Structures are given as structure tokens and as C-alpha cells.
């Protein structure tokens, strides 16, 4: 049996011995109770955390729909307003140098190129392409910065590249599935010939 000394002068040595043994001495019980009384309850702490999470979530929702956020363009209404009947892809314009020419045919759902009686779907790059809903025209900017406003009936020629189902290209469904769209073409607009627009070469 170990008898603890009662002399007050021995307490500092006892405390030092406790520390050397790795024992942590707790403050008096009254002090611990007063400290705990100053803390919020477990339920209160959970409520505070929940409020912070809700606030963060609301902030994220607000940020996800702020003006200029690309996510906002994924709303079908926004896509229709911004791009109209245009088929728009992400990324840069086609760098191919093949040529296609014909007359622009603009309808409610489609913008096609009438190539000597054969319709071709024009696929536009998002960068450099604008749709004007008031006039029903396309404002297209070439890689060199020159721009032109295109409307139905214009005789135009474009550089770029394309494919045709009749020449071994993908079917309509396969073609649509293979492209990363900003504005997907209406099903009625996916013709056998599809042309990825590079630059506007000529307009009459």
C-alpha cells in the first residue's frame, strides 16, 4: 500500500513525478463543470453545423447560376434563346481546308446549306458564332477577326471539313452521339451530309 504524503511541500514534487510518468492531471471538477456549462449542447452544436452546411449549399447554388456561368447555358431555354436553330460544338473551329458552297436555308429548327439541291447540316464553332434572334441571322467571325452577318438566301462558301453517310460516314444517330455539343441539332436537321465550319470564304 502506498501512502501519499500530506505535507503541502511535497505536492510540487508529486506533480513533477506525475508529468515524468506521462500522467496528465485534470483541473478540479468544479472548473471542468463550469467550462462545460459554457459550451453549447451536443444538439446545439449539430444545429450550428447544419446551419453552416445549408448556408454553404445556398451559396453554391447562387454561384452556379450567376451571370456568365457556363452551367447556365445548359438550360434548354437558354440554349434556344442564345443559339436558335444553330448546331454548335465546343472547342475550336475546323482547321481543314476543304470547301463547300451553297445557299443558306434558315427555318425555325434548322440552318442548312443547300448544296446544289442537297441539304447539308452546318456545324458551327461556339467561338466566333452568334445568333441574332431579332433578325434571324448569324454573325460569324473568321479566325483573322473579319466578320459577316449571314441570312437566309445568302450564297456562301466555307472552308472546313465534313462527312457523308452515303460516303461511309456515321448514321445520323451515331453522328450526334459522337460530337460534344453546346447546342445539339434538332433531329429533323441531321442530314446525310454534315459540315464543320472553318472560315467563311465567300458570300454573295
Domain count for the chain, please give it: 2
- If asked whether residues 30 and 105 sit together in one domain, one would say no
Query: Would residue 179 be called left, alpha or beta, if left means φ above 0 and alpha means ψ between -120 and 50 degrees?
Result: beta
Length of the chain as a residue count: 204
Give the integer Cα–Cα distance in Å for 75 and 77: 5
Percent of the chain's residues with pLDDT above 70? 62
Number of CB atoms found within 10 A of residue 142's CB: 15
Owning domain of residue 38:
10-55
- pLDDT of 46-84, one tens digit each? 444 445 444 444 444 444 434 334 444 556 667 778 999
Mean pLDDT of 131-141: 97
- If asked whether residues 174 and 116 sit together in one domain, one would say yes
pLDDT grade for 153, boundaries at 50, 70 and 90: very high
Is residue 65 one of the residues assigned to a domain?
Answer: no
Give the integer Cα–Cα distance in Å for 89 and 196: 9
Q: What are the strands of the beta sheet with 129-132, ordered from one edge?
A: 129-132, 137-141, 147-150
* Residue closest to 182 by CA, chosen among 40, 67, 82: 82
Q: What is this structure's pTM?
A: 0.63
Amino acid at each position: 500500500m502506498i501512502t501519499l504524503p500530506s505535507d503541502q511541500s511535497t505536492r510540487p514534487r508529486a506533480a513533477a513525478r506525475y508529468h515524468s510518468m506521462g500522467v496528465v492531471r485534470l483541473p478540479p471538477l468544479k472548473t471542468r463543470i463550469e467550462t462545460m456549462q459554457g459550451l453549447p449542447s451536443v444538439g446545439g452544436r449539430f444545429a450550428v453545423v447544419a446551419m453552416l452546411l445549408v448556408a454553404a449549399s445556398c451559396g453554391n447554388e447562387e454561384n452556379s447560376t450567376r451571370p456568365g456561368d457556363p452551367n447556365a447555358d445548359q438550360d434548354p431555354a437558354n440554349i434556344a434563346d442564345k443559339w436558335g436553330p444553330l448546331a454548335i460544338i465546343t472547342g475550336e473551329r475546323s482547321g481543314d481546308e476543304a470547301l463547300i458552297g451553297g445557299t443558306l436555308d434558315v427555318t425555325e429548327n434548322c440552318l442548312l446549306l443547300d448544296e446544289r439541291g442537297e441539304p447539308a447540316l452546318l456545324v458551327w464553332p461556339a467561338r466566333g458564332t452568334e445568333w441574332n434572334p431579332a433578325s434571324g441571322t448569324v454573325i460569324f467571325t473568321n479566325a483573322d477577326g473579319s466578320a459577316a452577318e449571314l441570312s437566309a438566301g445568302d450564297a456562301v462558301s466555307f472552308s472546313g471539313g465534313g462527312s457523308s453517310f452515303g460516303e461511309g460516314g456515321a448514321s445520323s444517330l451515331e453522328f450526334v452521339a459522337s460530337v460534344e455539343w453546346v447546342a445539339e441539332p434538332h433531329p429533323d436537321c441531321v442530314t446525310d451530309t454534315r459540315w464543320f465550319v472553318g472560315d467563311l470564304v465567300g458570300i454573295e
